[in-house]
Amino acid sequence: MKPEIILTAQGHAGTMATLQSEFTCHKFFEAPDKKTFLEKHAGVRGLATFGPLSVDGKLMDALPKLEIISNFGVGVDAINLDDARSRGIIVTNTPDVLNDCVADTALALVLMTLRKFPQSEAYLRAGHWLSRGPYPLTTSAGGKTLGILGLGRIGEVIAKRALACGMKIRYHNRSKKEVAFPYDPDAVTLARNCDVLMVVTPGGPQTQGLISEKVLDALGPEGYLVNVARGSVVDEPVLLRYLKEKRIAGAGLDVYADEPRVPPEFFGLDNAVLLPHVGSATVETRKAMGDLQIENLRRHFAGQPVLTRVV
């Protein structure tokens, strides 16, 4: 008998195929009536989560036999960890396997935002090079200071790449780390001391709205913001206003408050580079994430310890 699990969303083809060959999968996202679906599958012991669907105590209570929530992704902000903990439900994620890809995206956003590569490419495609002459000069990454807000596993890999581009590194974390980079005691100080503020913190209530007016004021009109973490970390309406009013120089964003809905006011801004949450979105990395998500489920149902437990 294959163990029964519920899938909250459609994963990529390879992960779906493996999940469906090893488990009896019930697709929550296809159910027209969620309440009836949950009543029908109330005996399920595993949940495979994908994306931003909120998994809270109410959902957990609808599945009283639930033992494990195996998330596809390192960020578990959509899952209420306290609710899982108090019910004795294991939560796993997919750390490390995506570090390189997310760091590539972060560095690409730094370069694209400072050097305006997407804008200059659009300039060429529109025929302006010939008619108007060279694209206006931009600003160099080399020599600038990258302030990393959240120097964790991904932050450290971003730092390596930025150093290779000749950038200097500073950081802020809740606690100081044993690293060679200068530490700032809070986000405002980090923003004041850097040229490019890189947001790599976890999402969730503790970091909600951390990038506020105060932080953006400290970053200032010559400063750039890059966010590869979660949209919730940034006060999005404030960011939009600061970009429009040129109170910061620019922003490179991979994440938004209400994905996939991006406020259309962003689309017309020349000082913003916007990616559709592609941080880890390569075939190789998504396969590695799916493999880890599945391995955690496999181990749990075989009575073995999971590999990457969060709760």
Residues 70-99 that bind ligand 8YV (CB under 6 A): 72-75, 98
For residue 227, give the nearest of 261, 204, 250 by alpha carbon. 250
Task: Let me know: does 240 contact 257? Beta carbons within 8 Å.
Answer: no
Closest CB to ligand 8YV among residues 167, 233: 233
Secondary structure (3-state) at 22: helix
The question of whether 236 is a catalytic residue gets the answer no
Please work out the total of residues on this chain that contact ligand 8YV, with binding judged by CB under 6 A: 10
Is residue 152 at the binding interface for ligand 8YV, with CB under 6 A as the rule? no
Is residue 48 at the binding interface for ligand 8YV, with CB under 6 A as the rule? no
Is residue 207 at the binding interface for ligand 8YV, with CB under 6 A as the rule? no
Is residue 279 at the binding interface for ligand 8YV, with CB under 6 A as the rule? yes
Point out which residues pair with 5 in neighbouring strands: 25, 46
Spot the catalytic one: 277, 286, 298, 300. 277
For residue 26, give the nearest of 70, 42, 51, 78 by alpha carbon. 42
Binding letters toward ligand 8YV, positions 219-258, x by CB under 6 A:
----------------------------------------
The question of whether 277 is a catalytic residue gets the answer yes
Task: Let me know: does 233 contact 207? Beta carbons within 8 Å.
Answer: yes
Q: Measured between alpha carbons, how far is 208 from 67 in angstroms, rounded to an integer?
A: 28
The question of whether 245 is a catalytic residue gets the answer no
- Pick one of 51, 118, 204, 209: the residue that binds ligand 8YV (CB under 6 A): 51
Closest CB to ligand 8YV among residues 73, 155: 73
Phi, psi of 17 (to 5 degrees): -65, -45
Residue of this chain nearest to ligand 8YV (CB atom): 73
Q: Measured between alpha carbons, how far is 38 from 60 in angstroms, rounded to an integer?
A: 10
Q: Measured between alpha carbons, how far is 218 from 211 in angstroms, rounded to an integer?
A: 10
Binding site for ligand 8YV (CB under 6 A): 50-51, 72-75, 98, 277, 279-280
Residues belonging to the active site: 230, 259, 277
